[in-house]
Structure 1
Amino acid sequence: MDGVLVDNMYLHARSWVELFRDYGLEGMDPERYLRETAGMKGLDVLRHFLDPGISPEEADRLTELKDFLYRVMYREEMRPMRGLERFLDRAAELDIPLGVGTGAGARNIDYTLATPGLKDRFKAVVGSHQVPHGKPNPDIFLKVAELLDTEPSRCVVFEDALPGVEAASRAGMKAVALTTTNPADVMSRCKGVIEVVDDFTSLTPDQVIAGI
C-alpha cells in the first residue's frame, strides 16, 4: 500500500525519525529507516532501532503516536501513485482480483484507501494486525491470496521495500518493484522481481501477465 498505491514512504520515514528523536535516538535519518525497515510492523521497527525488548503494548502505543504524526503531515497531499487509476481500471476490465497486503495498521489502512481513486478497488485487504508475523515473513501476502481464492504462484506483488520483496519471494510470488523507496539497481537484484518501474504510467496489467 504505502509507497505503491500512494507515494508516501518518505513521510512515514520522517514521522518515525521525529518519534525516535523524542525518545533520545539522535543521528537517525529517513534514508536509514527506508533502507533497513521500510514495510515492517511497528513492533519490528521499534525493536530494530529503539529497544530490542520493547513490549508489544508499548510498541502499539508508540506506533500510534507515529501514525498520528504521519496522518497530520500527509493529509493535504494524499493522491494515488501516478498512472495507478488507469492501471486499476484496466485490471477491472480484465476481471483480475486485487488485494492489499500491508504492514500498516487498521487506522492507516482506512485513511489511505479512502484516497479518491482507491476506494472500493480491492477485494481483499490484510494489515499487520491480522497476521502473526509481518514482512519479510510471507504471512500477509499468503493471507491475501487465501482471501482472493488464488494460488500464491498465480499472484504478483507490487512492492517498494526490500522486506516486502523478500516476503513475496518467500510466499512463492513474483514481484513488480517500484523505486519510491529503493533505487532501481537495488530492486532489480532482488529474487523474484520481474519488472522495476518508477510508477504506473508505463505499465499495464497486460504487460505484467505477459511477464509471468
Structure 2
Amino acid sequence: MKNKYSDYAIIFDMDGVIADTNPYHSLAWKSFAEKYNFTINDEDLKNHVFGRTNKSIFDFLFGDSLSPEKISLLANEKEVLFRDIYKNNIKALPGLVELLISIKNNFFKIGMATSAPSENVSLIVDELRINKFFDVIVDPKDITRSKPDPEIYIKCSQLLSVIPERCLVFEDSLPGIEAAVSAGMKVIGITSTHSSDELKNTLITIDDFLQIDINKIKEILK
C-alpha cells in the first residue's frame, strides 16, 4: 500500500542549509579579492554575493564588461579556492542527518536544489555520506536560469514527481526563498546567512535542524 507521504517532498538548498559553508566562502572571496586588488566586506558578501548568480556577482565586482567566458573562468578559480579551504572543515548543520533519516523513514521524497557547482556538491555530499538520502539533486548544469528564478525548484519537483504545492523547502538566501515561493512551494528559512527578520515569505525560521522535527513538517504540509 502506498504511503500518503510519498506524494510529498522535502527539498534542501545546500550552502548555508546542508552545511554552514558561508564562512569559508567568505574566506575564499577575500583571498580572491586580494589577488585581484580589491576589497570585499561581509556586508558586500551578504547583499551582493551569497545566493546570487555568477553574472550578478562579477558585475558587482568588476562592472558589466566581462564576457561569459571570463566570468566562468573567474568563478571556477574562486570555487577551487573555496574547496581547498573547506575540504578539511566539512560539517553538517546540527540535526541534519537525524532529520534526513526521519524524513526518509516517513516515506517523503527528498531533493536538493543548489546554485553550487557540481564539484562542490560532490565534495560536501560525499564527505557527509548523505547521498543515499537524496532522490534528486539539481545544480546549475541542469538549468538555464538561476535563483531567484523558480526554474531550479520547478525542475526538482518535476524530477521528484511531486506537485509544487506538496513541496517544503529549506532555504537560507533571499534569492532562494524568492525562487521557492515563486515555484508555489512552502519555505522554512535557515538563519545561517540572514536574520529571522530578514527572511520574509517563510512559514517559520530556524537556526538549525535541531529546531524542527518530522511532526512539525507533517503539520506544515497538512
Shared fold per TM-score greater than 0.5 = yes
Query: 3-state SS of the aligned residue for 2:72?
Result: helix
C-alpha deviations, 1:156-183, integer Å up to 9, x for none? 1111111101111111111110011011
**1:97, 1:23 → 2: CA distance?**
44
**2:140, 2:57 → 1: CA distance?**
13
Where structure 2 has 5 or more consecutive residues not aligned to the other structure, the ranges are: 1-13
The equivalent position to 1:157 in structure 2, one of 159, 169, 183, is: 169
The equivalent position to 1:94 in structure 2, one of 103, 106, 109, is: 106
**2:94, 2:142 → 1: CA distance?**
29
Query: 3-state SS of the aligned residue for 2:131?
Result: coil
Alpha carbons 1:98, 1:121 under 8 Å: kept: yes
Alpha carbons 1:41, 1:128 under 8 Å: kept: no
C-alpha deviations, 1:69-121, integer Å up to 9, x for none? 11111111112110001100100111111111011111111111112242221
TM-score for both structures, normalised by structure 1: 0.92
**2:177, 2:15 → 1: CA distance?**
14
The equivalent position to 1:77 in structure 2, one of 69, 86, 89, is: 89
CA drift at 1:130: 1.7
| Structure 1: 4+ residue segments shifted above 6 A | none
| 1:179 correspondence with 2:191 | yes
2:218 matched residue in structure 1: 209
**2:65, 2:145 → 1: CA distance?**
17
Q: Percent identity?
A: 27
2:16 matched residue in structure 1: 3
Bigger Cα displacement from structure 2, 38-47 vs 149-158:
38-47
Give the number of aligned pairs.
208
The equivalent position to 2:158 in structure 1, one of 134, 146, 167, is: 146
Where structure 1 has 5 or more consecutive residues not aligned to the other structure, the ranges are: none
**2:142, 2:152 → 1: CA distance?**
8
**1:173, 1:179 → 2: CA distance?**
19
For 2:23, give the aligned amino acid. Y
Alpha carbons 2:87, 2:123 under 8 Å: kept: no
**2:68, 2:30 → 1: CA distance?**
20
**1:96, 1:158 → 2: CA distance?**
14
Bigger Cα displacement from structure 2, 67-76 vs 38-47:
38-47
2:123 matched residue in structure 1: 111
The equivalent position to 1:167 in structure 2, one of 167, 179, 182, is: 179
Higher RCO, 1 or 2 (CA under 8 Å, sep at least 6)? 2
1:194 matched residue in structure 2: 203
Q: Per residue, is there more helix in 1 or in 2?
A: 2
| 1:13 correspondence with 2:13 | no
2:7 matched residue in structure 1: none
C-alpha deviations, 1:10-45, integer Å up to 9, x for none? 21122123223322323x113321233312232332
**2:160, 2:175 → 1: CA distance?**
22
Between structure 1 and structure 2, the one with the greater Rg is 2
